[in-house]
Chain A
Amino acid sequence: MSAPAANPPLLLDRTKAKRRAAWRRRGLVAAFMSPWILGFTIFFGYPLVFSAYLSFTHYDLLSPPRWIGLANYRYLFTTDQTVWPAVKNTLWFIAIAVPLQVLFALGISIMLSRARRGVGVFRTVFYLPALAPPVAATLGFVYLLNPATGPVNTVLGKLGIQGPLWFDSPQWAKPSLTLLALWGIGNTMIIFLAAVLDVPRHLYESAELDGAGAFARLRFVTLPTISPVILFAVVIGVIEGLQYFTQAYVAANVAGGSASYSAEGASELGYPEDSTLFYPILLYQQGFRYFNMGYASAMAMMLLAVAFAVTFVIVRHSRRFVHYQAPGR
């Protein structure tokens, strides 16, 4: 073993010191990041990896998982007849409720940005529903829209209109849930409002000088300027739509009048007639009611893949519509 060609001692020391400093810096960075790294690894990374593993097993939560290869995925795509109705319901919600939510929130925020008086009151009133816990809000809507005793149908009845069956009708259950979603639009509305108020005034002024009317100002000034926020709202809306659970679960159980004392009686998930059986509800049913956690994990993996793919497609295609302001302006 021969010694390597010796550097001058001073240079060696300086390099060592530099390296030490670099390591210290890295250590410091890692130390500052560690809360996030730990949280991410324990609460996101580990469950994700474990769920991916479970999707290749049969796992009843009580005995050790048994490796079954792709059987869960085969069952999901070729055999399980409840999956496609659930997928269709979820797609319905994404195609109808999500765009409506975005339009509704945008419309309200534009109106609120124009209000001259009582600005604070209106903003509070439109934001307030977002603070209502989802379960309580759903219970409230099921009560309001009760076809027999609810105030909405009572008023309609007085006007000579027989109100629909709302949460008790397969045709009306999803629109009823959409109404509930539109009512609780506060969070998106606040973000839109901030964006609308942030549109530089001089853009409107120059547009006006060019003879642009209200619609043209909206079309050519407001919308392009806030387009990144619209993109954000759409992406978040779609992801939340894919995970839609609480309201549908509560509405089905309450409207379906379930909770059999003997517990083996009627299950109301998806009531009426599977019209509110969204994909995450089916996933819950498989995992936690039927103790079929391996299959539920396979369903969760598919949901992740779809959420990822949809977000990717939206973001990719958004470049044509979304206008980012150059920094420093």
Chain B
Amino acid sequence: MRRVLGTLGLLLALMLAMSGCGGSKKSNSSSTDKVEPANISIWTPFVDPELKTFKAVVADFEKSHPGIHVKVVGGTNDDKIVAAIRGGNAPDVAQSFTSDNTGAFCPSGAWIDLSPYMKQDGVDDSVFPEAPRDYSKFEGTRCALPMLADTYGLYYNKTLLAKAGYKSPPKTISQLTAMAKKLTVRDSSGKLKVVGFNPFPSWYENVPAHFGPSWGATWMNGDKSALDTPAWADQLGWQKSLIDWYGYDDLVRFNAGAGDEFSASNAFETGKVAMHMDGEWRVAFLKREAPNLSYGTAPFPVADGHQDLSGAGYVTGSIIGIPKTSKHKDQAWLLVKYLGTNSNALAKLSNGIQNVPTTTASLESPLLQPLPGFQTFLDVFGNANTTTTPITRIGSANQETFQSFVGKYMSGSKTDLQGGLAGVDKQIDAQLKQAEAGQAP
């Protein structure tokens, strides 16, 4: 019995010791001009058909970097990346769709600091426009490069607009509202058949982060949450009044029958929604799933009195970095550098996937062949007023806390907007403080 207990104790001790080990090796920052041949791996969330384009670009990299062979694994996500880093079997390069998690990857050292490599190879982060530059680093630590961005704008159904007598898309929120009402069609029983613009919270891409830039609304003031502002109050007030015009329950019923966002039954693609806020990727989806739909794109309308923000919008995107467990960091950096900064690679990715290329130079690449309608999103990306959400230690928790309140305000179960926003600020500040607890001062 004693022996059994002894063995058990040993086993327990071993497991405790293992769980405490980070297994990080010191980064080797030797010259990357001539690196050893190696087999490396990259994980990407892309799945077919996007994955095909991604693999083709990686194959180009292999051609221009003889001796480095890259295994591409598609369909991954951040949970898998975190689990693999903890298990010591993470890939040499990881791509994440969730730039909010930069706040987890950078300060923990889970993705290594790329600055030494960048300095060594003369890559300055000014090659990226400001917003992607911001969402790929945290408190001065650059552990990732942006790789392809998503920008948001307005899609409109030209046929439906023409039928209602409109020749051009709305430029301001009041125009959007008037047009949305005129474009809305109900059947004899009052059921919504066509919705001019669907403002329902959290429906498809309807989150505060995507609407905010049109009102000049921002998230933080220093290190404190600052959502209790006139800009957010205006944005939410507009959204609520349009929802009330439709009738909240009517919109719920409409949404339930509207089809999944990422399917061929998407409400805009089937003509059930006349104007729609969406990301640039929709251009590729429309080409594939609704080739006969006559549509146009424009920057999202701006709040009245904010004409200075015309042409701007929201941007976020993928990030790419090197997990600390990589055994071939020098080779991995070459791939990160290639995918993150090579204009030809970014142009080719953009053409195939219809995402926005992320360096200022690649926006001018002669290889870039935007589909009709895509140029809008390139312009939004390049606009100086385009903004992103701040990267914090709590990932997307601040946005989700805010969305939770917005949902209740829109349905009418919470009515005090000012008090609610102040409450959300308080809650987010508490989350931030909680995440920082126990930090070395």
Contact = CB atoms under 8 A, between A and B. Distances in A.
Interface of A: 26-27, 30, 34, 37-38, 41-42, 46, 50, 57-58, 60-64, 66-68, 71-72, 75, 79-82, 146-149, 165, 168-170, 255-268, 270-274, 288-292, 295
8 contacts: A37-B4, A41-B11, A67-B438, A257-B255, A257-B258, A263-B97, A274-B404, A292-B394
B1 A26 contact: yes
Given A259-B262, A262-B316, A264-B99, A288 B79 contact: yes
A287 to B, nearest CB: 11
A58 B435 contact: yes
B205 A60 contact: no
A199 to B, nearest CB: 44
Given A62-B85, A169-B252, A266-B202, A50 B437 contact: no
Nearest to A33: B4
Contacts of B304: none
A291 B82 contact: yes
Contacts, number: 162
Contacts of A75: 430, 434
Give chain A's interface secondary structure class: loop
B202 A268 contact: yes
Interface in B75-105: 77-79, 82, 85-86, 97-101, 104-105
A148 B253 contact: yes
Given A149-B256, A170-B411, A265 B205 contact: yes
A290 B281 contact: no
Interface stretch (B231-239, B335-343, B370-378, B395-403): B395-403
A26 B20 CA distance: 35
Nearest to A168: B252
A264 B82 CA distance: 17
A156 B317 CA distance: 45
A111 to B, nearest CB: 35
A267 B400 contact: yes
A46 B16 CA distance: 9
A264 B399 contact: yes
Interface in B1-31: 1, 4, 8, 11-12, 15-16, 19-20, 22
Contacts of A60: 104, 108
B252 A30 contact: no
A46 to B, nearest CB: 6
A148 B438 contact: no
Nearest to B400: A267
Interface in B369-428: 389, 394-397, 399-401, 403-404, 407-408, 411, 413, 423, 427
Q: Give me the 6 closest cross-chain CB pairs, A-B, nearest first.
A: A148-B257, A62-B108, A66-B438, A68-B438, A266-B202, A63-B108
B359 to A, nearest CB: 19
Interface string B222-253: 00000000000000000000000000010011
Contacts of B100: 264
Interface of B: 1, 4, 8, 11-12, 15-16, 19-20, 22, 45, 77-79, 82, 85-86, 97-101, 104-105, 107-110, 150, 202-207, 209-210, 249, 252-258, 260-262, 279, 281, 316-317, 389, 394-397, 399-401, 403-404, 407-408, 411, 413, 423, 427, 430, 434-435, 437-439
A42 B407 contact: no
A289 B98 CA distance: 11
Contacts of A272: 407, 411
Given A169-B252, A170-B411, A290 B394 contact: yes
A289 to B, nearest CB: 7
Given A263-B45, A291-B101, 16 more contacts: A37-B4, A46-B12, A57-B438, A58-B434, A62-B110, A63-B22, A79-B430, A148-B253, A148-B257, A168-B255, A257-B255, A259-B261, A261-B262, A263-B97, A264-B209, A267-B403
